[in-house]
Amino acid sequence: MPIDFKKELENAARSMILVHDPDLLIKTIIRAVVEKARINHASVLLYDPKRQAYVLKISGGSLAKKIPVGFASLDKDDPLIRFFRERNSRSIFKSDILTLKNAQRALQGSDINGRLEGLLKDALYQIKLLDTVACIPSYFRDELLCLFLLGEKKDGKEYLGKELDFFLALASNMAMAIRNAQLFKDLESELNKKHQLFMRTTIALVAAIEAKDNYTHGHTTRVASLSLQIARRLKEKNKKIVNERFMENLHIASLLHDVGKIGISEHILNKKSGLTVGEYNRIKEHPLIGATILKPIKELEESIVGIKYHHERPDGCGYPDGLKGQEIPLIASIISVADAFDAMTTDRPYRPALFRDKAVKEISRLSNVQFNPSVTEAFMELCLEGVF
């Protein structure tokens, strides 16, 4: 059955839009070309800014067995690359496409000047090395982005004009798709760098908090770990409530839940005797202080809720706002249980640590009083399984 080139081009264009990984995009296109057009092999020389060279990407056909992906690369001064960067194919063949047969015919004639003849001869040598019979350039804003290299057809016949026109149109669409995919990948990489910088800054803040409070060293990271474990269990029960974004916000909030202690005197934080009413009230200000410190960072809006309300209680006796029951955000309720369990099982200046089993029973007893019942249930399940 003959190929419906228009339909195949439309299908390819739709598929390209959905792929945001340049390498995957190229592999998908080449694999489809090899299968649909019944070609021995097809490959792409893609420009790599880091290497300042055109790197061979192969995903289908016989050539893939001979040359590993990324192994062969041609710099900008390579004859084949220069031939297309300078648009010499247009001046010689009145077309962007260069075929092995046309190149051989042109060299047998006498219409090419000496410089172009030498360049074409060298380009032809490269074409033969790559076992290619047709080269189709892909330009983005007049810059050569990649070269589409086609091997022989499996039936041994020459490429028809309409087939080459299809590949030229495909290469044009591919240029835009590859550039978009590259930009998407660059953006993703930049966001990852910023996220890593943010997380390192967060960890530095955590270290600053723990440096002030000698008795809570490691408390923050333990609370974060416990919080995420509880959230994962809740996610198993309801994926709509606990999604990836929720997990990210919880991770940040649990790491920074005590950031407000930066504003509390070390004398109070490290006091070994009982706190006065005034000192205790000052300690109770740390959730608000933390929320105030982080408020200017709009991206942390959902995490700040967890920081501000992690000492609220379902019975309304918590702080800072005395919220009750479902008024308390889930992110805060999770941190509340994790924070309390770690506090109970850690030595403090004013009391020794409780045994694990006693701490677990205490949290169970205070379900729906100090702790959210659903969160307590998830916590208890994890304890019974030996996770905590």
- pLDDT tens per residue across span 150-200: 888 888 888 888 888 878 877 777 777 777 777 777 777 777 777 787 777
Cβ atoms within 10 Å, residue 227 = 28
Please state the pTM of the whole predicted model.
0.56
Q: Is 351 left (phi over 0), alpha (psi -120 to 50) or beta?
A: beta
How far apart are alpha carbons 121 and 107 in whole angstroms? 8
| Strand partners of residue 375 | none
Alpha-carbon torsion (17, 19, 21, 23), positive or negative: negative
Model pLDDT, residue 250: 94
Domains of the chain: 5-185 (3.30.450.40), 213-384 (1.10.3210.10)
Model pLDDT, residue 316: 93
How far apart are alpha carbons 298 and 315 in whole angstroms? 31
Angle at 275 between CA 270 and CA 276, to 5 degrees: 140
Q: What is the dihedral of CA 125, 26, 34, 164, to 10 degrees?
A: -60
Helix (H, G, I), strand (E, B) or coil at 264: coil
Q: Is the pLDDT of residue 95 over 90?
A: no
CA neighbor of 251 nearest in space, from 307, 295, 326, 308: 307
Low-confidence winner among 62-71, 84-93, 106-115, 129-138 (lowest mean pLDDT): 62-71
**To the nearest whole number, what is the mean pLDDT of the chain?**
82
Model pLDDT, residue 283: 85
Angle at 173 between CA 171 and CA 175, to 5 degrees: 70
For residues 251 and 8, the model is more confident at 251
Cβ atoms within 10 Å, residue 205 = 19
For residues 232 and 272, the model is more confident at 232
Model pLDDT, residue 209: 72
